[in-house]
Amino acid sequence: MKLEKIKELLQAEELTSGIDLNLEIASARASDLMSDVLSSSHAGDLLLTGLVNAQAVRTANVVDMKVIIFVRDKAPAADTIQLAEQWNIHLLATKKSMLEACGLLWAALY
Amino acid sequence: MPGKALFQKTFTIKKDDFANAGEASVQIKNILKDVGFDSSVIRRVAVASYEAEMNVVMYGGGGNVRLAVNPDNVMLVVEDKGPGIPDVDQAMQEGFSTATDEMREMGFGAGMGLPNIKRNSDDLKIITSPDSGTRLEICIRSSVSGTEEN
């Protein structure tokens, strides 16, 4: 699924500049626990999380995730956004809860 | 550690430095990318390093991570100045944690650190005591040519 479609489904706003909405997202993971993301042999392309500190972005970098969507209307600090831009990790934010965001993506995929 | 490392570098990890925690692991990942390792090896090293680095920040009172690229493996030696691990077997169990709320707010501290390090290592040695802190020797086998690990 294209990131553009995910953005539309979740009514998400872009937090980083230069987001490639044509990016193909094949799999996603939802967690507020970064060790959980790190424990997976394939973390996926997209992380849904309520964790808005720099560790979410560093975790995405370590496991090569391309996109983070922050749920529950949360937004990271400016330095976290800057870090993501430096590593070309796209950040978006949605007002939807984790459950709702996951449900919408699941329904669209299957 | 027999033989001479092809490359080595030591990273200093500061106590309670949550803002920069993980930076050494990102640098290690970039170094291994530049050397030309296979992406699955880079990922295993980066995950093990990141979890170890977080442990040094959260529990270890600061310390360092030493990266050594050898002809047939990547070694990470992680040393801290902390109080040691009283019961290593217990600490290796997924879910066992002595984390504070601050640590959990960072997305860590749920008792997955050491199990994640072990999962991504081919060999893991833990040397710990209340007097001298904790030393992890993490070995991930691979060759510099970038061939896939077994």
Bridge partners, B9 (sequence order): B67
DSSP string, B49-98: HHHHHHHHHHTSSSEEEEEEE-SSEEEEEEEE-S---S-HHHHTSTT---
Q: For B68-98, what is each residue's pLDDT tens digit?
A: 999 899 999 999 999 999 889 999 998 888 8
Residue A36 with chain B: CB contacts under 8 Å: 110, 112
- Judged on CB neighbours under 10 Å (0-12, 13-18, 19+), B2 is exposed
Exposure on the CB side of residue A110, measured as CA atoms within 13 A: 6
- The per-residue pLDDT for B147 is 41
Q: Which pLDDT band, with edges at 50, 70 and 90, does B6 fall under?
A: confident
pTM above 0.80, yes or no: yes
How many angstroms separate the CA atoms of A9 and A4, rounded?
Answer: 9
Close Cβ partners of A41 (under 8 Å, ≥ 6 residues apart): none
Q: Which pLDDT band, with edges at 50, 70 and 90, does B149 fall under?
A: very low
How many angstroms separate the CA atoms of B150 and B141, rounded?
Answer: 8
Pull the structure tokens for residue B95.
């879910």
pLDDT at B64 over 90: yes
Pull the structure tokens for residue B71.
């002809």
Pull the structure tokens for residue A38.
């790190």
For residues B120-124, average pLDDT: 97
Q: Which pLDDT band, with edges at 50, 70 and 90, does B3 fall under?
A: low
Q: For B133-145, what is each residue's pLDDT tens digit?
A: 999 999 999 866 5
Close Cβ partners of A90 (under 8 Å, ≥ 6 residues apart): A3, A14, A16, A19, A20, A23, A66, A67, A68, A84
Instruction: Please report the sign of the dihedral spanned by the C-alpha atoms of residue B57, residue B58, residue B61, residue B63.
Output: negative
Residue B115 with chain A: CB contacts under 8 Å: 39
pLDDT at B131 over 90: no
Residue B119 with chain A: CB contacts under 8 Å: 39
pLDDT at B1 over 70: no
Report yes or no for ipTM above 0.90: no
For residues B41-57, average pLDDT: 95
Whose structure tokens read 């979890």?
B51
Q: For A51-97, what is each residue's pLDDT tens digit?
A: 999 999 999 999 999 999 999 999 999 999 999 999 999 999 999 99
Decide: A5 and B78 in contact? Cβ < 8 Å: no
Decide: B27 and B65 in contact? Cβ < 8 Å: no
H-helix or E-strand spanning residue B124: strand B123-129
pLDDT at B150 over 60: no
Per 3-state DSSP, chain B is made up of helix, strand and coil in percentages (nearest 5) of 35, 25, 40
H-helix or E-strand spanning residue A46: strand A46-49
How many angstroms separate the CA atoms of A14 and B106, rounded?
Answer: 23
Best of B37, B38, B45, B106 to disrupt the A interface by mutation (most A CBs within 10 Å)?
A: B106
Taking an 8 Å cut-off on Cβ atoms, the answer to whether A34 and B113 are in contact is: no
- The per-residue pLDDT for B145 is 55
Pull the structure tokens for residue A8.
């539309």
For residues A16-23, average pLDDT: 96
Across all residues in chain B, what is the average pLDDT? 89
Question: Number of Cβ pairs closer than 8 Å across A and B?
Answer: 66
How many angstroms separate the CA atoms of A98 and A75, rounded?
Answer: 14
Decide: A61 and B26 in contact? Cβ < 8 Å: yes
pLDDT at B63 over 80: yes
pLDDT at B146 over 60: no
Task: Tell me the shortest Cα–Cα distance from A47 to chain B, in angstroms.
Answer: 13
- The per-residue pLDDT for B143 is 67
- The per-residue pLDDT for B148 is 43
